[in-house]
Chains A and B, each alone.
Chain A
């Protein structure tokens, strides 16, 4: 565990770092440690998972291996959205893994070379890149998938909250991610939106169904727009 800590702090030499990375990659428990350390670090620095996720959208290419896979949010433009202090869920990693297991085909927002690798299966390509580079790639890719999922998750979390935040989140994504990658982000967030969340009965979720239904109901034909008051009525029964 100390080694993971050292890895995070950039104290390991390249070879040792590679070894740790592949260990972390192979060992779920170590992955949890990795995540936990970041969580602790972020909490100490008063940064949240949302901050990370925002920053991670602009995650760097493989070769630019850096011990800090969750770059400081300060490096990116801080939008009001991410200024709120929200503690990440400690079991986020587990949930993420479950989701990734369920959706093995997620493409990460990365340059062409990496997408090619992903599409064509992974391991056989390793020799072409060299073990180190490949390991780094895997980890970076994993991190970027995490980032994508986290952004999605952030959007999802906010979906339940005030709407303006969502549009800010979208803007933030727009700013940091080039077009082709943005599509990937959006594609994944579409899936991530199906992640568990608690729903408020009076939520917009149902309001939208009501609006969709109302236009087709004879009561609208009879009463016109007055019938729509059902859709925007603020009181539940």
Chain B
């Protein structure tokens, strides 16, 4: 009898692990879809009871180059273009172009390597399947093990691995942010002209303000002298650089922490002496918390609950010289 009990516990544990592995396989498939599936669609971004629709073009060339274009359809027109590692945002309402170029080797959090790391802070569950915008998809639930992070739900298309729905849920299991296609064509041949920006020409002709933001491309990590101590449990430092941020006049320290799924950025810049209200801002799953620390303004932000970004901002310290 006792042996049966042990065996059944073992089997239960085993089947649970098998389910985890299956869930990880789905997530890997989803992560890979980014680099091997072309599609055109319209999706809804839902946050805080608001809806915004955007048009999305995703094209993977035979050479493996990824080209993406996002155009907002509601509110002021805005366009984001990603060509491999270069992201360009056109903001016609303020006549601004923001350019972000990253070295792919510096992406601190990449999938699927980090998927294994997820297990420490999250529980992976394969749940039901569903039909969304004409495609069958499998729901995977990534449930947090504590209240410092949010849960995620993805409905992953059977064949291509494309996430048809992506949701962020809080501890009450309320969906606080959701991305979902409502119209989608997979494996669409994207015409060359649709890859062009609607605004590139006018931006050039009318001399829009261009902000370039670039990571400090150095192979070795940069010791900014700043640290997060103690860092909230389960988060580890992934990157420490001094970087230029569009709109800032000099390079500022930027620390990135992650638990494998959520990332938190901490920026430290000379005191802006700006009005600090409101210090806490949220947008969908993202919380942004600002505080003054000595002569600096600290900005912590990430797709985590408010208290987590606050913990980060409050733990920022300048390392003593003896610790260097």
Q: Which residues of A pack against B, CB within 8 Å?
A: 162-164, 166-167, 190, 193-199, 201, 204-213, 215-219, 221-237
Contact = CB atoms under 8 A, between A and B. Distances in A.
A164 B87 contact: no
Task: List the 3 closest pairs (A to B, CB-CB), nearest first.
Answer: A237-B48, A234-B75, A225-B68
A26 to B, nearest CB: 29
A199 B274 CA distance: 7
A230 B286 contact: yes
Contacts of A211: 87, 89, 98, 100, 213, 246
Contact of A167 (B69, B207, B261): B207
B89 A229 contact: no
B166 A225 contact: no
Contact of B262 (A167, A198, A205, A218): A218
B260 interface: yes
Which of B75, B76, B283 neighbours the largest number of chain A CB atoms within 10 Å of its CB?
B283
B309 to A, nearest CB: 11
A201 B78 CA distance: 19
B179 interface: yes
B34 A224 contact: yes
B100 A212 contact: yes
Contact of A229 (B66, B96, B154, B179): B179
B281 interface: yes
Contact of B258 (A164, A198, A204, A218): A218
Contact of A194 (B30, B100, B273): B273
B247 A208 contact: yes
29 contacts: A163-B94, A163-B208, A163-B209, A167-B207, A167-B208, A197-B275, A201-B278, A208-B213, A208-B245, A209-B301, A210-B301, A212-B100, A216-B239, A216-B263, A217-B303, A218-B114, A222-B163, A223-B34, A225-B80, A225-B81, A226-B56, A228-B70, A228-B89, A229-B54, A230-B284, A232-B91, A233-B72, A234-B52, A237-B281
Contacts of A206: 281, 288
Contacts of B272: 194, 199
A160 B167 CA distance: 34
A194 B94 contact: no
Interface string B43-69: 101011010101010100000001011
A195 B284 CA distance: 31
B29 to A, nearest CB: 11
Interface string B135-176: 000000000000000000010000000010010000000000
> Which secondary structure dominates chain A's binding surface?
helix
A194 B270 contact: yes
B243 interface: yes
B121 to A, nearest CB: 12
Interface residues of B, number: 83
A156 to B, nearest CB: 11
A26 B258 CA distance: 57
B235 to A, nearest CB: 13
A132 B248 CA distance: 42
Contacts of A217: 109, 262-263, 302-303
A236 B280 CA distance: 12
B68 A224 contact: yes
A212 B74 CA distance: 23
Interface in B235-280: 238-239, 243, 245-250, 254, 256, 258, 260-263, 265, 267, 270-275, 278
A224 B154 CA distance: 14
Nearest to B299: A209
A151 B275 CA distance: 22
A195 B256 CA distance: 28
B70 A216 contact: no
B82 interface: yes
Given A163-B94, A190-B249, A224 B262 contact: no
A209 B274 contact: no
A196 B52 contact: no
B246 A208 contact: yes
Contacts of A225: 56, 58, 68-70, 80-82, 87
Given A218-B111, A235-B50, 19 more contacts: A162-B94, A167-B207, A167-B208, A190-B250, A196-B274, A199-B274, A208-B213, A208-B247, A210-B301, A216-B108, A218-B261, A221-B34, A222-B154, A224-B68, A225-B58, A228-B89, A230-B283, A233-B45, A234-B72
A138 B72 CA distance: 54
Contacts of B19: none
A232 B281 contact: no
A209 B298 CA distance: 12
B282 interface: yes
Given A198-B275, A218-B260, A237 B47 contact: yes
